[in-house]
Structure 1
Amino acid sequence: MKARVKSIYRHLKKPVDAIVLSNSTEPHIDMSFFYATGLTDGLFEGCTAWLFPDGRCEIVTSALEEEAAKKSGLPLHIFRNRDERIAAMRRLLKGLRRIGINASEITQKAYAELTKLAPKARFSDVSDAVMKTRLVKDEAEIELIRTACGIASRSFEQTLPFIKSGRTESEVAAELVYTMQKNGATGPAFRTIVGAGPNSAEPHYTAGPREIRQGDLIVIDFGALFKMYHSDVTRTVVVGDASPEQREMYDTVRRAQDAAMEKLRPGIKGKSVDAAARKLIDATKYKGRFIHGLGHSIGLATHDGGGLNSVSDIVLRPSMVFTNEPGVYVSGFGGVRIEDDVLITKGGPEILSTASRDLIRVG
């Protein structure tokens, strides 16, 4: 993991003697801890990763996580109680005058503890350097994301026959999550969305007791977690034959996604990719119905730090992975969203999520 640590240091605006990535209790876990250590198992509550300019990384870990931590091959400082944890941190802090913290993730309590242990040190926020480093995936990360995308795509296709009138949204979500884990997922990447009928017009709906009915549009937003790496895919299906209005809405979103896909190339700014999809939708009767950003980086988190939206100045580079997910939402009628995970390459976009992007008839 030395290359990852050195990359973070290369992105720093000001030099530091060490960077401390601190975990508190779930959900306050800094996924950059796992990025720097290369660990893909364990929770590591109350643990810290210590990164040094020469690329070294050391872990202060609880005895609870010792077996998982050993898999990193990194130097370990094992504690069994609070006093031992504090003593280990004091040893590592000795002589440090400039310390970097990931201010986007550290809790106030953890930060206060560090400042108390090193009262003469100067602390600086290195979250921008961490984010910029994590945006560009290495080969190991790309393969894990590719696997997560494959599991999600295959599981969705296997779940399609289950979706029919009379099933509830929650039943469909449960079947899809079960199928993903049966196909090798560590778990779902996030809470699965199954929004049927008018519920499909709510972008971050989850899955409830509503029964699926003939004629419903159903937005299904799902992802597989594989060794801590995420996929994030959305497909919209229709129960029975699509009405002309449903098909027009779907075709509009599909064309918008295709327009954005053409822009997902090295050297293009994130806001230009968003504009390609937004311009197409706003030229139709659905103007103003695309109410969110086009996409986000994906990796150790579902929303992994960077976004594709109207103000994004991120310049695309090879080995970045973003979602491309335009949508149209009409309250009381329904919505359509199509989302794929896309790897930026020198030759153009590579779509990692392989499920069909056509409007699929179910039920």
Structure 2
Amino acid sequence: MKNTQALFDDSIDCYFITSQENRFYFSGLKTSFGGIILTQNQKYYITDFRYQYAAKEALPDWELKFVKFSEFYNTVRSILQDLRVKTVAFEDKFITYSDFLKLSDILTGFELVPGSDMIETCRMVKTEEEIQFIATAQQITEKALNATIERLKPKMSERDVCAEIIYNMYLNGADGLSFEPIVAMGVNTSQPHHSFSDYRLEKDDLITIDIGCKYKGYCSDMTRTFTLGEPDKKLEEIYNIVKKAQEYALSSIKAGMTGHEADSFAREYITANGYGELFGHGLGHSVGLFVHENPRLGVGSNTVLKENMVVTIEPGIYLQGLGGVRIEDLVVIKNDGVENLTHFTKNLRI
């Protein structure tokens, strides 16, 4: 179990957590239904009979409650009454409005306060175990991309390549996907988050592949842009600019700076080369149980980067009607720089 002491101050007596990711984060147990209650000294996991054996094995030092769905909220209320707590923090960024109304009704007499920000802050800095899970997910992703590229040839469609990637992810040990793969060819590379289509590869097209998988619940994320032939000269120019911008950022970012400052290393280089307005997204984001977590690396991001945060570094330039380039690595923030978890080639010509 993760250290929960950082969650508590004098204003919060306990946390009531229902999102699958946060339940997994604090307990290590993955269930489709359930909730956990955390105080500074006690922890409860509420789920149904389907998980009784898994829960007993995984959580020997937790109080376990196995209930029917209809009994869930009354069980929560009973536990909170027994604990004699007054202030209950809930996941304000996850819970639906209808569930909030239900919670407010069931927990009349308790003070409900937002708790998502505290949980989010707790999750920002990764443990060594979390970093290892993310690194393994990244290794699986790179193996899958390499296997896919070995079979890549003209006339394959974006849909074909997407299917190959997903197959190779699972074949190499993935537990799931971080997100639906982004596979863009030709002019479609000008769309940063293009979904796959039936477009078929021409020999000199640029190809952008943005992919990630999950391992032990944790995500990876990477992007490569490349070609099987000879790209348009303008696209080769922006490729080299994006690559240099990323190299500059990777060599400059370290703990202690803000997300805004980290973003500026790549953004200023791209701007100085005349393409600043075409770098329309942030430099990166944190990665963990979700593929997009805080902190963000972007204009206006004042969160200070800390050692063992895991973030992406992904500058890009997109020319509408022609094509685009994005190169993305996954790194661990360190006090003296970054540790790059991504080792896949950045050659333009594959």
Q: Does 1:53 align with 2:40?
A: yes
- Matched residue, 2:77: 90
Aligned residues: 346
- The verdict on how the C-alpha distance between 1:358 and 1:67 changes in structure 2, with shifts beyond 3 A counting, is farther
The one-letter amino acid of 2:152's match is I
Q: Deviations over 1:251-304 (max 9, x none)?
A: 100111112112321111110111111111111132311010110000000012
3-state SS, counterpart of residue 69 of structure 1: helix
- Matched residue, 2:24: 34
Q: Does 1:347 align with 2:336?
A: yes
The one-letter amino acid of 1:51's match is L
Q: Is the Cα contact below 8 Å between 2:189 and 2:208 reproduced in 1? A: yes
Q: Pick the aligned partner of 2:319 from 305, 323, 330.
A: 330
Q: In the TM superposition, what is the alpha-carbon distance from 1:111 to its structure 2 partner? A: 1.9
Alignment of 1:39-118 (within 5 A): 39=29, 41-42=30-31, 44-45=32-33, 47-54=34-41, 56-70=42-56, 71-73=58-60, 74-83=62-71, 85-94=72-81, 95-118=84-107
The one-letter amino acid of 1:37's match is S
CA RMSD of aligned residues (A): 1.5
Q: In the TM superposition, what is the alpha-carbon distance from 1:220 to its structure 2 partner? A: 0.3
3-state SS, counterpart of residue 249 of structure 1: helix
Q: Which runs of 5+ in 1 are unaligned?
A: 24-28
3-state SS, counterpart of residue 354 of structure 1: coil
Alignment of 1:297-312 (within 5 A): 297-312=286-301
Q: In the TM superposition, what is the alpha-carbon distance from 1:72 to its structure 2 partner? A: 3.4
> Under a length normalisation based on structure 2, what TM-score does the superposition of the two structures give?
0.95
Q: Does 1:240 align with 2:236?
A: no
The one-letter amino acid of 1:8's match is L
Q: In the TM superposition, what is the alpha-carbon distance from 1:313 to its structure 2 partner? A: 0.7
Write the distance in 2 (CA, Å) between the matches of 1:347 and 1:358.
27
> Under a length normalisation based on structure 1, what TM-score does the superposition of the two structures give?
0.91
Q: Is the Cα contact below 8 Å between 2:44 and 2:64 reproduced in 1? A: yes
Alignment of 1:1-363 (within 5 A): 1-3=1-3, 5-9=4-8, 15-23=11-19, 29=20, 31-39=21-29, 41-42=30-31, 44-45=32-33, 47-54=34-41, 56-70=42-56, 71-73=58-60, 74-83=62-71, 85-94=72-81, 95-361=84-350
Q: Is the Cα contact below 8 Å between 2:224 and 2:346 reproduced in 1? A: yes
Write the distance in 2 (CA, Å) between the matches of 1:81 and 1:335.
49
Q: Deviations over 1:141-188 (max 9, x none)?
A: 111101001111121112112221110001101101111110000122
Write the distance in 2 (CA, Å) between the matches of 1:350 and 1:312.
22
Q: Which moved more, 1:280-289 or 1:249-258?
A: 280-289
Q: Which moved more, 1:343-352 or 1:327-336?
A: 343-352
